[in-house]
Structure 1
Amino acid sequence: MPQLIPEPWFLIFFTSWIIFISFAPSKILSHHALSDPNLKTTKTFYNFWTWPWQ
């Protein structure tokens, strides 16, 4: 069974995970919290849904 021989696929699997682990956090964190809203100037608007049977 060639699936049990780790030489052909283990290096590709390991390098792809190393690349994913090293580049993914920087790409994700660059899109996180670009502009924080100022809570004093932000108005909260509640749009309540009214059900006809209540």
Structure 2
Amino acid sequence: MPQLNPAPWFAILFFSWLVFAIIVPPKVLAHIFPNEPTPQSTEKPQTESWSWPWQ
């Protein structure tokens, strides 16, 4: 069974990781959210207990 020449496979691996490490992160980090998150209030809402009509 013939052995594969590792030279082209290493170059493909190296350049694909180069793309993932250099080109993709700035594109992902440049993403902006359409709506900025608003801070929630720290007050706990007043809840009432249910009165079950069948008990």
- TM-score, structure 1 length as denominator? 0.48
Structure with the higher helix share, 1 or 2? 1
- Greater radius of gyration (CA): 2
